Structure 1
Amino acid sequence: MKLVAVGINHKDTPLEIREKGAFIHRTLNEGIRTLLNENDIAEAIILSTCNRSEIYVATRNADAAGEILKEFYLKNKSDQLEPYLFIKKERAAMVHLYEVVTGLDSMILGEDQILGQVKDALEKSQAIKGCGKYLTKMFREAITFSKKVKTEYKISETPLSLSSTAVKHVKRQYPEDYGAKKILIIGSGKMGELALRYMKAEGFQNPYMTNRTFHNMDKCEAIHENVKTIHYENRYDLIPEMDVIISATASPHVILKADEMPELTKPLTVIDLALPRDIEEAVGNIAGVELLTIDDFREIIDETMAYRLKVAAAISGEIQHEIDGLLSWVTHAKVDNMVRDLNETSRQLAEETIENLCGRLSLSEKEETYLSKIIRSKFREMVMPPIKQLKSLDTEEEIIRMEKTVTYLFPGMNEKSLWGDQKK
């Protein structure tokens, strides 16, 4: 089994193009189910965040899977994605996954939020049986490694995320009286909740919060004792009072439109952390409004960048070592599954033979027991030499050759059954 990753990310893909490749919950599940209908894709996980849209699959044909994923993006998302799509296979895909999970591939180096987003992506795929043994192993190992290096290297002594960076930007913007500024957070999901937590930690005293539904508002009130929650339909009425708006919803449509904005009597900073974007681009043309999007935070000064670059180099070296271990696991997992399937094939053939003979011969109970014992033993002996040979193999090339031999001698053990956790 091989890992293939295809997608787009913040490195070379403009925000307006990343929007076209984004998945919401419904399209994410539909996408996984569609991909699993392809013969060359055994497992699939979709990771869609504000900075990336990536699909990871387990496959026996990496080249075919790469083309399938590319065509999937172009057909189901937009043909405008084509110049920006990357395709990574096998070891390169594993390294990329580890760099993503550890935050080395993030816009904000070492950011924390991506770890939770990767966990969510794995759980969503598992919930609809989109991934099995292979991708679960890859993602869990990457998640465990990320937790280890973050603890060991402390790449982010203070939590880092787009939400925290946005709050710090506001603090820099109003160094004298930031605590008194009125700030409206739109969206009570993870990013909105994080923004509220950082405001509490930084000493912002006047946060307001709204969301299309009030499902998370009790939790938000527990985070910051001064937070004022307002009804979503009243959001425009509150804007003239605000100094800053931070929007981070999962809405597929814009939630603040230029032609519905009220008249402003003081400057307003609007920070859009959503993808697809929450704020209509024309809002930025309104007099007195400064509109910032995700990509604007590339330029935000990071006081700890030099330290984190040094740490990132050390983590990159550890990633290569981890991948060596993962590839060894993949190699020996093939052997373990072939051994298991040889034993199962031997057992099935023995039971079929016992049933056939006992049905044709008039045997006593004692004779049937003896005959069954002998047949099971002989069929077991039949597969012992190839099993011993399998366990002595060390290289990928030797194992692949043995796979072909085993599947030729035992046609019932097709390539998919040799892996184990496959599409049913």
Structure 2
Amino acid sequence: MEIVVVGLDYKKAAVGIREKAAFDTNAKKHKWARHLLDQGHREVLILSTCNRSEIYMVSKQPKKAVEDARNAFASIFGGQEIDSYLNVWQEREGIMHLYQVASGFDSMVLGEDQILGQVKQALEFGMEYKHSGKFLNKLFREGVTFSKKIRHHYGFSETPISTCYTGIQLLRQSGNGLEGKKVLITGAGNMGTLALRHVLSEKPEKVLMTNRRHDNLMATLSEYQQVIPVRYDDRFDALDEADVLISATASPHVVYMADRVKIRKKPLSVLDLAIPRDVDLELRHRDRISLFDIDDLRKVVDGNMEKRRQIVEQCKEDLQKEVEGYIHWKKVSRLDPLLDYVSEKCEGIQRETIGYLEENTELTPDQLEEIGRLLMGHLKQSFKKPIIRMKKPDDKLQQSNLEVFMEGLSKRHGG
């Protein structure tokens, strides 16, 4: 079984490419995960964020897994042109990549906080729909645990940084700060709610918020009585009043169409944090409108990341140990069928022995139970040393013996 990762990210693919190849709905994630499982691969998890779309797979046929994942991206994108933007990582590199992603080491905003929650959500979705299994569940859980550990130990999140926070910094640096402004936020999901918290800390004059599902909006705003809820159908009227629009929905379609946005009488700053993008690109050419999308965040990233880069350097040794630990666990997990087989045989011997004693002796039930317990203990003890030797990470001779044994065991039990 080999771990394979295929995907695209902000480093090679601009936002216009990423949004065309995004797994932007749960239905799409479920559809393509099931498709890849039906191709004969063992496990699939899909991680989709504003900066990356990645397919994680466990397969006995890694080359086929890479090809099937490439074809999935081509189908979503609408052509094989997507191939030139795709990254491929296999086994050790794929494991390392997930740890780096979960920790924020591979993010545009180095060490950003949102990715940890997105990795958790990908795992929960895969487990809920049974797309993932032992290997990917373990990998993603360990990636999350490592991320929490380094954030706590190295103070990685003493000054929390997120995509939303960086976007607001971008507005401020471009002369479009939020203090004293009327701000409209679109989207009441995780990104929109995080944006709301950052916006409120900027001392705006008024904050309005809208969402496609009004009940979700009202649930979010139950903790923010100062925020004015706006019906989704009334969002363009609210936009006329706003000085700043921050949009972060999960909509697969454009939310603010250019032909429905009126000619501005006052300046409007737009921060579009969605993938696919929420705001019609045509608005970028309108007078009095400044439009920024997720890729524009690079303008402010480099200036405030030096401390976090130093922390990443300090974490490299810890990261390598975590990866080696997972690889060792993965190798040792090959013993599971052997352990099950040994356990089954021991229980069989125990049953046969107790059955014989019941028929041919006058031992009491308590005596038979004690003999059965002692026999099982001795049987397990007899297998303990060879199994421990097989679990040693660098014991090549024992690993070779295990492969021969497992091959014979597989043939004996029909694969």
Q: Structure 2 length as normaliser, TM-score?
A: 0.87
Aligned match of 1:391: 388
Q: Which amino acid aligns with 1:84?
A: Y
Confirm or deny: 8 A CA contact 1:155 1:312 kept in the other structure. Answer: no
C-alpha separation in 1, matches of 2:361 and 2:254: 75
Q: Which amino acid aligns with 2:122?
A: A
C-alpha displacement at 1:122, in angstroms? 0.1
Identity value in percent = 35
Say which SS state the counterpart of residue 75 (structure 1) adopts.
helix
Superposed, 1:207-356 pairs within 5 Å as 207-300=207-300, 303-344=303-344
CA distance 1:267–1:145, change in 2 (3 Å): same
CA distance 1:412–1:226, change in 2 (3 Å): farther
CA distance 1:69–1:329, change in 2 (3 Å): same
Aligned match of 2:43: 43
Aligned match of 2:99: 98
Most deviating of 190-199 and 332-341? 332-341
Confirm or deny: 8 A CA contact 2:187 2:209 kept in the other structure. Answer: yes
Aligned match of 2:149: 148
Say which SS state the counterpart of residue 408 (structure 2) adopts.
helix
Confirm or deny: 8 A CA contact 1:248 1:274 kept in the other structure. Answer: yes
Confirm or deny: 8 A CA contact 1:4 1:66 kept in the other structure. Answer: yes
C-alpha separation in 2, matches of 1:301 and 1:365: 76
C-alpha displacement at 1:222, in angstroms? 4.0
C-alpha displacement at 1:201, in angstroms? 2.3
C-alpha separation in 1, matches of 2:331 and 2:286: 59
C-alpha displacement at 1:170, in angstroms? 2.9
C-alpha separation in 2, matches of 1:76 and 1:246: 27
C-alpha separation in 1, matches of 2:410 and 2:350: 14
The match for 1:366 among 351, 359, 377 is 359
Q: Deviations over 1:377-398 (max 9, x none)?
A: 9999999988754432234754
Q: Which amino acid aligns with 1:366?
A: E
C-alpha separation in 2, matches of 1:368 and 1:208: 85
Q: When the two structures are aligned, how many residues end up with a matched partner?
A: 404
C-alpha separation in 2, matches of 1:308 and 1:73: 33
User: Residue 408 in 1 paired to residue 405 in 2?
Assistant: no
CA distance 1:349–1:412, change in 2 (3 Å): farther
Confirm or deny: 8 A CA contact 2:6 2:56 kept in the other structure. Answer: yes
Q: Which amino acid aligns with 2:26?
A: H
C-alpha separation in 2, matches of 1:368 and 1:33: 57
C-alpha displacement at 1:366, in angstroms? 1.6
Aligned match of 2:197: 197
Most deviating of 197-206 and 233-242? 197-206
Q: Deviations over 1:132-177 (max 9, x none)?
A: 22111111111011001111112232221111112233334457x7
Q: Which amino acid aligns with 1:53?
A: S
Confirm or deny: 8 A CA contact 1:17 1:80 kept in the other structure. Answer: no
Aligned match of 2:70: 70
Say which SS state the counterpart of residue 32 (structure 1) adopts.
helix
Aligned match of 1:418: none
Q: Which amino acid aligns with 1:392?
A: R
Q: Deviations over 1:49-108 (max 9, x none)?
A: 110000111223433322222222223443231101111011111111011001010010
Confirm or deny: 8 A CA contact 2:20 2:76 kept in the other structure. Answer: no
Say which SS state the counterpart of residue 45 (structure 1) adopts.
strand
Confirm or deny: 8 A CA contact 2:45 2:131 kept in the other structure. Answer: yes
Q: Which amino acid aligns with 2:388?
A: K
Say which SS state the counterpart of residue 138 (structure 2) adopts.
helix
Q: Which amino acid aligns with 1:97?
A: L
C-alpha separation in 1, matches of 2:273 and 2:247: 6
Aligned match of 1:421: none
Q: Which runs of 5+ in 2 are unaligned?
A: none
RMSD: 3.1
Q: Deviations over 1:341-397 (max 9, x none)?
A: 34336757998x99xxx9xxxx99725999x999xx999999998875443223475
CA distance 1:322–1:210, change in 2 (3 Å): same
Q: Which runs of 5+ in 1 are unaligned?
A: 416-424
User: Residue 88 in 1 paired to residue 89 in 2?
Assistant: yes
C-alpha separation in 1, matches of 2:282 and 2:402: 63
Confirm or deny: 8 A CA contact 1:183 1:242 kept in the other structure. Answer: yes
Confirm or deny: 8 A CA contact 1:187 1:249 kept in the other structure. Answer: yes
C-alpha separation in 2, matches of 1:46 and 1:227: 35
Q: Which amino acid aligns with 2:326?
A: L
C-alpha separation in 2, matches of 1:104 and 1:401: 39
C-alpha separation in 1, matches of 2:116 and 2:219: 22
Q: Structure 1 length as normaliser, TM-score?
A: 0.85
Q: Which amino acid aligns with 1:30?
A: K
CA distance 1:211–1:391, change in 2 (3 Å): same
C-alpha separation in 1, matches of 2:203 and 2:401: 64
